[in-house]
Amino acid sequence: MKVLVTDKINESAGKIIGKTAQVDILPTMSEDELIKIIHQYDALMVRSQTKVTAKIIEAGKNLKIIGRAGVGVDNIDVDAATQKGIIVVNSPDGNTMAASEHTIALMLAMARNIAPAAASTKAGNWDRAKFTGCELFGKTLGIIGLGKIGTHVAEVAKALGMKLVVSDPYTSKESVEKLGGEYIQNINDFWGKCDFITVHVPKTKETINLINKESIAKMKDGVRLINCARGGIINEQDLKEALDNGKVAGAAIDVYENEPNIKDCPLIHCEKNIVLTPHLGASTQEAQLNVAIDVAEQIKEVLSGGSASSAVNIPSLRPDKLEPVKDYMQIAENSGELAMQISDGMIKTIEITAQGYLADFDIQPLEVAVLKGALSSMLEGVNYVNAPVLAKKRGIDIITTRSNKKCNFTGLLTVKLTTDKETNIVAGAIVAKDIPRIVKINDYETSIRPQKHMLIVPHVNKPSMIAKVAQVIGENNINIGSMNVVQKNDKHETESIMVINIDSAAGENVLSEISKIDGVHNPKYINLNAQ
């Protein structure tokens, strides 16, 4: 067995893998150089620098596992790896303390003007009055996202004497109150309560540009912002303008929309009140050791015939259970995603019903796929291994049923997702020529292939509705791939729904324009992990 490491890692990781395989450490290789030699290796271990492209994966004829010593796998073509049956693993928890502490460090540095004061003093100046800061004690810290990192930030901030307010649709009021904070259900009520705001959420369609010109306008004058999560959650141009005009008194940023190429980032041209670091959230000796050892252990385990603890793409399931239902894994995941993305509120219960031939087999693999889809819509780093654990941790009740009730398909999988606000039903099936289809959304019997970008548009059934919606989509330079328009089963029902596949993402402006059409209510943009 041979393992290739192409980025700098802690030597302890190499020793762990070395117990099972030969380890070659060859950092800073180009794509072409990697393609020439990757066929020799059974495993590849990287950090964030190496881009593991589809071409590299195609050339890796003997690859069994790719390990990312860190959290994000944006630099790995996971779909290409999945198609080749290559396991991709990461280390989702190894840098929790490092990222939390960096957030606190940046907040303190920003509040006390540490960076500019240090630069001025090193230049031989003595400008005490120029760098007067503010105290954290008694100030209100707004936390968006109460995962492991957000929770630790809250605990430290509370110890510093700060008041806490939290916005997170996927946590409970009780969890926030246990930390001594105030839970704000509607984020529009959150902005104006905070002296400092820090974000700890994944980069999803809901969180991209979460902090923008509109949300900044709702904040207190003199608010201070911190982002150690993902670039793009704060709109960089809007933040620069708010810093320049004084609406935002300070910002501390560790992540950027385009990394590592930040020459065009507007924030580097801010002359005051900003602290910038080059994505150092996980850059501690301890964090790098933790993630390297974690991934090394997983590589060693897989090469020894075991399973990975943090696989992001391959189910950790027995082959005999997976084989009979494997064709339904993707539609199961997409059904879970869709059910969650059309729902508001916190998940309470997920009911999964298998009919047709599926009822003859153990549907545990399909349950895991549904959970992965549903949870991926609200959490980062969800995979087939940890999805059941995450669901249990959040108190989600899972009910699975194998029904002998007749259906119109060879196999039918129905997902009924209940939140604290509503219940939605999505059903999927495989139809002719092995094509996956969404065949039901609540009371609407539809038939459309799940794709990456979709729009769900409930509307009153009256003339010209299709034309008006299509016009908005076209005017925003978005192409419609396919559309399915259906009424409810009751022919006298006046409500219909459009299920539209589009070729690119639809932003909030598109949804806003569609919402203004008379007769349309609550349209949704859906972003699926579809093949």
Catalytic residues: 230, 259, 279
Beta strand pairing call for 480-487 and 453-460: unpaired
SS3 content of the chain, % helix, strand, coil (to 5): 35, 25, 40
Angstrom distances, CA of residue 486 to CA of 161, 414, 438, 439, 526: 56, 19, 13, 11, 18
DSSP per-residue codes, 204-268: -TTTTT-BSHHHHHTSPTTEEEEE-S-TTSB-HHHHHHHHHHTSEEEEEE---SSSS--TT-GGG
Tokens of 51: 């881009």
Q: Please state, as a whole number, how many other Cβ atoms lie within 10 Å of the Cβ of residue 62.
A: 12
- Residue pair 379/390 in contact by the 8 Å Cβ criterion: yes
For Cα atoms 474, 477, 478, give the angle at the middle one, nearest 5 degrees: 75
* Residues 391, 396, 397, 403, CA torsion sign: negative
Q: Please state, as a whole number, how many other Cβ atoms lie within 10 Å of the Cβ of residue 366.
A: 29
- Residue pair 80/56 in contact by the 8 Å Cβ criterion: no
Through-space distance between the first and last CA atoms of the chain, rounded to whole angstroms: 32
151 contacts: CB under 8 Å, gap ≥ 6: 179
Q: Which of 269, 216, 282 is nearest to 246 (CA)?
A: 216
